[in-house]
Amino acid sequence: MDSDIPMIKTIPRFYLNRQNLIQDENKRKLYEQARLSFLKRLGREIIDNYELQQLWAIFERRILSLSSSTLTSSILDDFNDHKIDYAEFRKIGEQLDANMKLRKYFNATVFAKLLPKADRSLGSNQSRIFIITFFKYLIRKIWLQQARISLSYWDSNGNGYLTEYDLKNYIRESIPTLVQLNDLDRSYYPFYVCVVVRKFFFFLDPNRHNRIKIIDILFSGFLDELLELRYECSDHQLQLQVQNQSNQNNFNNHTNSNHCQSSVSSPISWFSAANTCRLYNTYLALDEDGNGLISKTEFKKFGNFNEYFVEQLFNVRITYNQEIDFKTFIDIVLALENRKEIQSAYFFFQILDINQNNYLNDFVLRYFFKAIENQMRNQNQEPISFDDFSNEIYDMIRPKYPRHITFDDLIDSGYSDTIISILIDFNGFYAYENRDSNIQVRNDGVS
């Protein structure tokens, strides 16, 4: 462009790439030091245990002065039942030391946010909040602040996102603090990190930008579940792990008999050591040639899949030499085990959209129907007609444009998991075909 044009000279630069600004080593170090200082300052502003203990003591005195509690009654029970109005709420806040950080939470905005629905229509003098609700709100607020600062230390670019590399480092450094992983062999650590990171990215980065907002991590609930591993495992969790190990042994015993089933369901936490062992052992069992990758032939033993779906899956999610690695396998398992979730639907829609037109039409449905037809003939069953097959799908989806199913159509229908199961999984197809008889069997069992 000609720099002599007057208009160009007057247009200010409106975007500066932060990475370009810190390419100079000294500037980069200065930027990093400033960022760390900022995070430390935020850490000092977090409410500490002393303030919480002082507030708890004030609440206790308040309850004991207003109730008939005796020394033998449970203060916690009174906490669960006791309410305070806005005047009492403000009075308690004023009893805190003037320099305490807790005081900022004793305001009308917080009070209104915590009001039970039944009290929101009442006058200001009648509206009350539960003391325990307010205390839990504070605990949650403090946890979010602590977690955000902790994650921000691993934000290599300082832009409020974590890349896959950043999150891997965070998980790797967190493992020693997770008590329930103490018995996990160190050789499993890389696989554990992969299993954990893939769940975060599968659900929070479905478009594969290779970065996740820290705020999205905090509010997803996944970090809460992960950090629960810092506490000793309950007896119920131990029982589930033993049960899962038994299921895994059965899976391994059937692998060579071609009876492997996809989605070895387990009620245990995705972030548990048992789950990583389950997934890794499944992967090893499928990898018959021991090259560290899974071929199409090996993958077909993981479930009763539509063969054309497997072909398309390996075309879209291929890793090396027409095979998939452990990371890709975990993504597939996440999609299979969470078919009702929108991220799973998006994962499969990209695979089913063989022409990359952003919609499924008769051509696409006929492509996958052909494999279903072949399967039925191989089992000496009379194939259904394509018209019946496609019309059933279109009737469920009711697409905006006739016989063109977009991703939005699929989600809006509420049948995304059913349609996906019909197209990718023979078991899903047969389950839908025999749904009436299955319902009758269940009803007979109840009666």
pLDDT at 201 over 70: yes
Q: How much is the pLDDT for 268?
A: 82
Q: How much is the pLDDT for 66?
A: 61
**CA trace torsion 408, 413, 415, 419 (10° rounding):** -60
pLDDT at 272 over 60: yes
pLDDT tens-digit profile of 296-319? 999 999 999 999 999 999 999 877
Confidence at 21, pLDDT banded by 50, 70, 90: low
Confidence at 10, pLDDT banded by 50, 70, 90: low
The sign of the dihedral angle between the CA atoms of 83, 88, 90, 92 is negative
pLDDT at 171 over 50: yes
The sign of the dihedral angle between the CA atoms of 267, 272, 275, 277 is negative
Domain segments of the chain: what residues?
49-145, 160-337, 339-447
pLDDT at 363 over 80: yes
pLDDT at 275 over 90: yes
Backbone angles phi, psi at 305, to 5 degrees: -85, 155
pLDDT tens-digit profile of 371-401? 999 999 998 888 899 999 999 999 999 999 9
Q: How much is the pLDDT for 421?
A: 96
Q: Are 268 and 237 in contact (CB under 8 A)?
A: yes
Reported for 350-357, long-range contacts at CB under 8 A and 24+ positions apart, including other chains, are 350/316, 351/309, 351/312, 351/313, 351/316, 351/317, 351/424, 352/309, 352/312, 352/420, 352/423, 352/424, 354/312
Q: How much is the pLDDT for 265?
A: 47
CATH architecture of the domain with residue range 339-447 = Orthogonal Bundle (1.10)
Q: How much is the pLDDT for 203?
A: 98
Confidence at 14, pLDDT banded by 50, 70, 90: low
Closest CA to 265 of 253, 254, 277, 275: 275
pLDDT at 248 over 60: no
Mean pLDDT, the chain, as a whole number? 84
Q: How much is the pLDDT for 447?
A: 46
Confidence at 73, pLDDT banded by 50, 70, 90: very low
Q: How much is the pLDDT for 76?
A: 52
pLDDT tens-digit profile of 313-345? 999 987 788 899 999 999 999 999 999 999 999
* Interval 391-420 mean pLDDT: 96
Q: How much is the pLDDT for 12?
A: 67
pLDDT at 196 over 80: yes
* Interval 235-244 mean pLDDT: 51
pLDDT at 277 over 70: yes
* Interval 130-158 mean pLDDT: 92
Backbone angles phi, psi at 425, to 5 degrees: -135, 120
Confidence at 259, pLDDT banded by 50, 70, 90: very low
Name the pTM for this structure.
0.81
